[in-house]
A and B are shown apart, each in its own frame.
Chain A
Amino acid sequence: MKLDFTVTPSTSNQLGVKGVGEAGTIGSAAAVINAICDALSPHGVTDIEMPATPKRIWNAIQSGSGQKGGTA
């Protein structure tokens, strides 16, 4: 993961500040799921539905077919 900064002050207020709100949360779920899929790729798993519960991961490993979400 590479972190970087961008400096583009907002023109809509005197402080130049921007709300970032939930921007950081949007990508994190996809990143975690991608990391799980990467870790399970030797088992032929290509996708895991959220939430990635222990049961779903175990089932996905067992089936080895990478079927979506295993048999949740």
Chain B
Amino acid sequence: MITATFDYTLAESVEHATGLLAEHGDEAKLLAGGHSLIPMMKYRLATPAQLIDVGRLDDLRYIRVDGDHVAIGALTRHTEVEHSTELEAACPMLKHVASLVGDPAVRHRGTLGGTLAHADPASDLPAAVLALGGTLVAQGPNGTREIAATEFFTSFLESALAPDEMLTEVRVPANTAGWSYQKFNRRAQDWAIVGVAVADGGKGISLVNMGSTPIRAGAAEAALAGGSSAVDAAAVAHEGTSPPEDLNADADYRNHLARVLTARGLAEAGA
């Protein structure tokens, strides 16, 4: 498939990029690694008239431990997260999840900010950041603001970013408490049919591909917080979700997977 026609501009700075976003409005899309956006453009599921390439804003490629959290530049590639010694010490869960995204080619191009801004409910890293209770930093013409991950994913492939804002940094708590990432799929490089991210010894549980956005397993979290056993908490992991149906799984099977994977994840996390 061939993309629709579009104009291309190489952004020289975040200010340049957000200025172009403000100028072109809904017609514009930011291009980072391109491993989600370009396929969508080839299928013509996305037809932006203006691509703004932020891929050379190398200032936004960093991983810094900063006191109680780790700050990761939006253009940090998955492979850099996957192999980060800083994250291994401060937030091993994120490092592990990055190693499971797509295949090596995807991980060498795709970026953390890109996958979060894309807001795919079937992606691994958005759910991981959600379970960790991360914070997203957005920059627009009026400055920067912080958005809690729990507020960031608004609907299918939609985020709380304003049309003229760019995601510049992802912050996750420095947290080495028990964690787990359970990804169920049939082929290693596929999206999860269902996935479960468990962070902070079980205090943060999120679900992959169990709704139109990455979601927290609120019922299971509440059960655990209320003193239920991990097994009992996992039994309600699917409650409040609206899982999609496709060739891989219907809703009943996804609910089943959410319960089983949550049980495994809580066990691995020592909850």
Contact = CB atoms under 8 A, between A and B. Distances in A.
A and B associate in one complex: yes
Most central of B248, B252, B253 by chain A CB within 10 Å: B253
A60 B256 CA distance: 14
A61 B19 CA distance: 57
A55 B250 CA distance: 8
Contacts of A53: 186, 248
B188 interface: no
A69 to B, nearest CB: 14
Interface residues of B, number: 9
SS class of chain A's interface: helix, strand, loop or mixed?
helix
Nearest to B249: A55
Contacts, number: 16
B256 A58 contact: yes
Contacts of B248: 53, 55
Nearest to A56: B253
Contact of A59 (B184, B186, B193, B253): B253
Interface in A37-72: 53-55, 58-59, 62, 71
Contacts of A59: 250, 253
Contacts of B186: 53-54
A3 B256 CA distance: 40
Contacts of B253: 54-55, 58-59
B193 to A, nearest CB: 8
Most central of A53, A55, A59, A62 by chain B CB within 10 Å: A55
Interface in B181-203: 184, 186, 193
A54 B194 CA distance: 12
Nearest to A58: B253
Contacts of B256: 58
A58 to B, nearest CB: 5
Contacts of A71: 250
Nearest to A72: B247
A53 to B, nearest CB: 7
A27 B12 CA distance: 61
Interface string A11-45: 00000000000000000000000000000000000
Contacts of A62: 252
B73 to A, nearest CB: 38
A69 B186 CA distance: 18
A62 B256 CA distance: 11
Contacts of A54: 184, 186, 193, 253
A71 B256 CA distance: 16
Interface in B131-156: none
Contacts of A58: 253, 256
A54 B185 CA distance: 9
Given A58-B253, A62-B252, 11 more contacts: A53-B186, A53-B248, A54-B184, A54-B186, A54-B253, A55-B248, A55-B249, A55-B250, A59-B250, A59-B253, A71-B250
16 contacts: A53-B186, A53-B248, A54-B184, A54-B186, A54-B193, A54-B253, A55-B248, A55-B249, A55-B250, A55-B253, A58-B253, A58-B256, A59-B250, A59-B253, A62-B252, A71-B250
Interface of A: 53-55, 58-59, 62, 71
